[in-house]
């Protein structure tokens, strides 16, 4: 390994940012591909949560709170600083990896410009941006149909998908029909333990709609930018998960196969 590689653990590494709408299947795909190709994943969302909830970095936490407590957006400079510091640490811990998956960064055109600058600094390569294109009506159905067991949150269903739907609805005590919740939705029961299934706040229709509007506003220019630079690989995310994985692999596998071993 060269001196520059020793000093900079990202020299020669391949970066694969993943972009997808909420409930677009990004988490499933990054986990599969990370394990299959030994590509550690940097998760920006988890990094933020660790800073804010676990107190991993008190100085950065105070900086983030100075914006959030005043109702201000966290500036791109602070986001990039958090990304750079924590991603470089991940790279240093995984010197044998050919590359890394980026989940949650970049999320805007400004962040994409910052990443391009960092790649030059690191002598790393932005190999491909993997964009899971999922129609908004599909995303909404995935979110609003999701139900969690009230006794064990690991039991997850989707009433809008026949393959993932629970088997039983909760009947009224008098046997006159199905129980409904405060919003008039039928109440289902967990197939495994018969506990009542619940809808989480994040999956309420108004919350889902707001998140998708915010996603489009921030991400549409990012997608257009990477499409123009020909760094975008657009994948049909409205397929069975294994088909989505196969589609992504047709893009990633040739790139990784040609990459030199560290």
> Catalytic site residues?
26, 107, 146, 200, 211
Q: Which residue has the tokens 């909830």?
A: 53
Q: Who contacts 217 (Cβ-Cβ below 8 Å, separation ≥6)?
A: none
Residues 85-90: contacts with CB under 8 Å, at least 24 apart: 85/57, 85/60, 86/42, 86/47, 87/42, 88/9, 88/10, 90/40, 90/42
Q: Who contacts 144 (Cβ-Cβ below 8 Å, separation ≥6)?
A: 160, 203, 204, 205, 208
Q: For residues 197 and 76, give the distance between their C-alpha atoms in angstroms, rounded to a whole number.
A: 39
Q: Which residue has the tokens 């791109």?
A: 76
Strand ranges of the sheet holding 156-158, from the earlier edge strand across to the other edge: 156-158, 146-149, 197-198
Q: What share of the chain is helix, strand, coil (3-state, %, to 5)?
A: 45, 15, 35
Q: For residues 41 and 187, give the distance between their C-alpha atoms in angstroms, rounded to a whole number.
A: 37
């Amino acid at each position: 390994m060269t001196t520059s590689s020793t000093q900079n653990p990202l020299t020669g590494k391949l970066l694969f940012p993943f972009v997808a709408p909420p409930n677009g299947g990004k988490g499933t795909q990054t986990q599969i591909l990370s394990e299959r190709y030994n590509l550690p994943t940097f998760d920006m969302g988890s990094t933020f949560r660790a800073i804010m909830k676990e107190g991993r970095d008190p100085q950065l936490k105070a900086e983030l709170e100075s914006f959030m407590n005043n109702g201000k957006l966290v500036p791109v400079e602070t986001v990039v600083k958090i990304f750079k510091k924590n991603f470089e640490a991940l790279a240093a811990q995984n010197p044998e990896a050919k590359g890394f998956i980026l989940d949650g960064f970049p999320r805007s055109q400004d962040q994409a410009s910052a990443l391009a600058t960092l790649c030059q600094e690191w002598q790393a390569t932005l190999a491909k941006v993997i964009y899971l294109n999922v129609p908004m009506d599909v995303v909404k159905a995935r979110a609003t149909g999701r139900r969690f067991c009230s006794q064990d949150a690991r039991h997850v269903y989707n009433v809008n998908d026949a393959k993932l739907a629970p088997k039983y609805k909760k009947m009224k005590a008098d046997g006159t029909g199905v129980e409904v919740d405060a919003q008039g939705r039928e109440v289902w029961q967990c197939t495994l333990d018969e506990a009542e299934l619940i809808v989480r706040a994040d999956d309420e229709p108004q919350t889902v709609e707001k998140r998708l509007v915010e996603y489009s506003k921030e991400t549409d220019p990012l997608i257009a930018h990477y499409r123009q630079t020909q760094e975008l690989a657009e994948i049909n995310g409205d397929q069975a998960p294994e088909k989505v994985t196969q589609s992504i692999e047709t893009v990633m596998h040739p790139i990784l196969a040609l990459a030199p071993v560290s």
